[in-house]
Amino acid sequence: MTAPDAPSPKPDAGKRAFGWVRDVLSTRLNKSAGRIRQLMLLIGVAYLGIGGKLVHLGLSREPPQTLKVAADQAAAGARPDLLDRNGAILATDVKTLSVFAEPRNIIDKDEAVELITAVLPAVDARELRERMNSKKGFIWIKRQITAKEHDEIFHLGLPGIGFWPENKRIYPNGPLAAHVLGFVDKDNIGIAGMEKYLDTQGLTDPHVPGFAVDPEALKPVRLSLDIKATHALRDELIAGLERFKAKAAAGAIIDVDTGEIIALESLPDYDPNDPPDMTKQVNWPKINRVNVGTYEMGSTFKALTIAMALDSGKVSLGSHIDARDSLRSGHFTIHDFHATHRVLTVPEVFTHSSNIGTARMALMVGVQGHQAFLRKMGQLDRLQTELPESAKPQVPKHWGELNTMTIAFGQGLNVAPLQALMGVAALVNGGHLMKPTFLVRDEATAMANSEKVVSDQTSESMRYLLRSNATHGSAGFANVEGYYVGGKTGTAQKIVGRRYSNDKVFTTFMAITPADKPKFLYLVMYDQPEAAPGDGGYHTAAYNAGRVTGALLRRVEPLEGHAPLLAPPAHPFPLIARLGYGADADKVGKE
C-alpha cells in the first residue's frame, strides 16, 4: 500500500475541522478590532430599541394602567379623624363602596347601561353611554353607593363592572363648628377650614403617586374646640338671632392663657356632610364672620385705646378727661351716645363709653403712637391662623388726626373680629399677645411664642375697668352672679350708602370671667339686630349681644368645670390697689 508515501492526512483534516474553533478562541489582535465593531453594533441596536420604546411611551397619552393603580388614584384618599379637645369625634372617615366600569371588558355596553340605570336611577343613561364609549380604561359609574344598591348591581352579574372601597367623610355633629371644620369634596380633598389645613400640612393620604401614606399611620388630630361649649354657643346665638331678628350672628370663646379657641360659630352656617349646602343661596352669605369678615368693632375697641393711653404713662386711672363739649375736627363733630357733659375720670370714660373721652386720650398719644400701638397689637396686619381663610384689615390710606380720633372709639378701621379678640385677650391676660390657635396648646408653649405688649399694671387696670363696666356700665346684662364677670359692649353704626345709619347697627360684646384672673374671653356679635319687644326700642349691644353673652356664660362655665364663686375675690386687683385705685371695682364709676 502507499503507507509510506501517503504520510498521515489526518492531522491536516483535524486542523481544518477545529479551525473555526481556534479562530473564535484566537486572541490575535488582527481579529479583535472587527469583533469590537460587531459588539458595538449589537449594543447600539439594543440602545436604539430602548430609546424607541421610551419615545413611544413618552408620546402615548394614557400610560397603560393596571386596574388597581387606576382605581387607587381615582378613589377618595384617607384622612385623619378630627377630634375635639376632649376626644369627641368631629370628623371621621367611613368606608363606602363605589361602582366603576372598565368599558374595554364590557361585552354589550348598551345592555350594561340599561341594567345599571335601572338600579341607579340617579345616573344619567345618555351621559353614561357616552363615557362608556370613550377610550378610557376606567370610569366611575356612581360614587358612594348604599349597601342595597351594591347588592342589586352585584346580582346583575355584569362583566367589567366592579366595586371599589372608598372613604367618605362624615361629620357626626352636623352643622356644629362647620365654619372651623370646613368640608371636603368627593375625592376627600379638603376644600375649606381645618380640612384644608390638614392637606396643606401633609397629614392626609391624597393618593399622589410617590407620596403614599399608610392610612393606618394617620393619627387623629385634636382641635382646641370643645364640642359642648360650641353647641351652647350655637344654641344661644340662634335663640338670639330669632329674638332680635338679626341678619347674621357670630361668636367665639378663647382661652386667654393659651390662645386656644374653645368655640367658634358663625350664622348662617351649613352642614359639611352636604357640601352643596355651603353654596346654597341665602340672603346673607355663609362665611366665617369671626375670621373672614372685617368690621368696625365699635366701642369694644375703646379697650385698646384706653390700654394704650394707660400704658404710655400719659394717662393714669385717676386722670380727668374733658368730655364737656363735642370734639370738633374740620367739619366733623364727635358726640357722645350717652352724653354726660362733664369732666370724666378714666373709669367713667370707659363705663359711659365716651367717644369724646377716648378720642382725646388717643390724641394725647398721637397719630404715630396710635399706629405703632395698634400694629404691635396685631390690628393692622392680616392675622393668619391654621384656618386657610383670613381677611386683611381695612386700614385708612391716609391716617390723620381725625382717623385716630374715630379709630379710638372703633370706627374707621375694619378688623377681623378674631383679631380684636386676640388684642383684648392680650390686654387681660397680663399683656401677652399670642396668636389664636385651633389646635390644642399648653400654656408654656403659648407663653414661649407670645410677646409682651402691655405692662402687668395696664393689664390689671383693664380687667378692673371691664369689671366696673359690668357692675356700673353697659355690661350689666352679662354680669352673671358668681362668675365675677367683666365686659364691654360695642355698637357700631353700619354704613349704608356713604353715611352711618342710625337704625342699622353691628353690635359686639366681649366678656371676661373671672375678672381678677380671666380664663375665658367671650365674644358675641349680631349684624343688624332689632329691638326685642319690651326693650323700649333699644337695639344697642347690651340688649342683644350682652344678654346672649350672659346666657352663654351661665351655660358654658359650669360645662368647663369652673365653679361659681360664692363671694367676690378679696383682693382682685392688688397692683392698682397699691396705687389707691380699684380697691373695690363694684364701687368705682359712680363717684
Partner 1 sequence: MWRLLHLLAIGTLIGSAVYVYTLKYQAIFEAEQIVKLKHQINKTKDEIGVLRAEYEHLARPDRIQELADKLLQMQPLALNQIVRPEDIPEKNAQADSIGRKLESLGLGPSSSPANGAAGASPSLR
Least separation in angstroms between residue 181's CB and partner 1 is 13
Helix 355-376 / helix 401-408 crossing angle, nearest 10 deg: 100
Least separation in angstroms between residue 78's CB and partner 1 is 11
| DSSP run (H or E) holding 306 | helix 302-312
Q: By rule CB under 8 A, what count of residues binds partner 1?
A: 24
Single-letter residue type at 565: L
Query: How far is C-alpha 48 from the chain's CA centre?
Result: 55
Which residues in 454-483 contact partner 1 (CB under 8 A)? 481-482
Q: What are phi and psi of 354, to 5 degrees?
A: -80, 115
Q: Grid coordinates in use for 110?
A: 348598551
Least separation in angstroms between residue 165's CB and partner 1 is 8
Distances in Å between the Cα of 545 and the Cα atoms of 54, 488, 513, 541, 552 are 69, 10, 16, 5, 10
- Residue 228 vs 247, nearer CB to partner 1: 228
- Residue 366 vs 482, nearer CB to partner 1: 482
- Residue 183 vs 301, nearer CB to partner 1: 183
Which residues in 166-205 contact partner 1 (CB under 8 A)? 170, 172-174, 176
Q: Are 306 and 346 in contact (CB under 8 A)?
A: yes
Tell me the three-class secondary structure of 455-472, residue by residue: CHHHHHHHHHHHHHHHHH
Tell me the three-class secondary structure of 536-561, residue by residue: CCCCCCHHHHHHHHHHHHHHHHHHCC
DSSP count for the chain of H helices, then E strands: 20, 18
Q: Are 220 and 211 in contact (CB under 8 A)?
A: no
- Residue 215 vs 369, nearer CB to partner 1: 215
The answer to whether residue 564 forms part of the interface with partner 1 (CB under 8 A) is yes
The answer to whether residue 94 forms part of the interface with partner 1 (CB under 8 A) is yes
Q: Is 299 a catalytic residue?
A: yes
Least separation in angstroms between residue 172's CB and partner 1 is 4
CA-to-CA distance for 45 and 335, rounded, in angstroms?
93
Least separation in angstroms between residue 366's CB and partner 1 is 47
Least separation in angstroms between residue 231's CB and partner 1 is 4
The answer to whether residue 563 forms part of the interface with partner 1 (CB under 8 A) is yes
Pairing of strands 486-496, 499-513: antiparallel
Of 203-211, 277-285, 292-300, 560-568: span binding partner 1 (CB under 8 A)? 560-568
Q: Are 552 and 233 in contact (CB under 8 A)?
A: yes
Which residues in 74-93 contact partner 1 (CB under 8 A)? 88-89, 92-93
CA-to-CA distance for 100 and 140, rounded, in angstroms?
4
Selected from 374, 554, 582, 585, the binder of partner 1 by CB under 8 A is: 554
CA-to-CA distance for 108 and 127, rounded, in angstroms?
17
Residue appearing with cell numbers 379697650: 303
- Residue 29 vs 563, nearer CB to partner 1: 563
Residue appearing with cell numbers 393659651: 258
- Residue 129 vs 562, nearer CB to partner 1: 562
Least separation in angstroms between residue 539's CB and partner 1 is 27
The answer to whether residue 227 forms part of the interface with partner 1 (CB under 8 A) is yes
Selected from 79, 143, 179, 231, the binder of partner 1 by CB under 8 A is: 231
Selected from 179, 207, 360, 555, the binder of partner 1 by CB under 8 A is: 555
The answer to whether residue 144 forms part of the interface with partner 1 (CB under 8 A) is no
DSSP secondary structure letters along 338-388: T---SEEEHHHHHHTT-HHHHHHHHHHHHHHHHHHHHHHTT-SS----SSS
Q: Which entry of 98, 224, 299, 474 is annotated as an active-site residue?
A: 299
- Residue 81 vs 443, nearer CB to partner 1: 81
Selected from 566, 570, 571, 580, the binder of partner 1 by CB under 8 A is: 566
3-state secondary structure of 260: strand
- Residue 495 vs 559, nearer CB to partner 1: 559
The residue ranges that bind partner 1 (CB under 8 A) are: 88-89, 92-95, 170, 172-174, 176, 227-228, 231-232, 235, 481-482, 554-555, 558, 563-564, 566
Q: Where in the sequence numbering do the catalytic residues fall?
A: 299
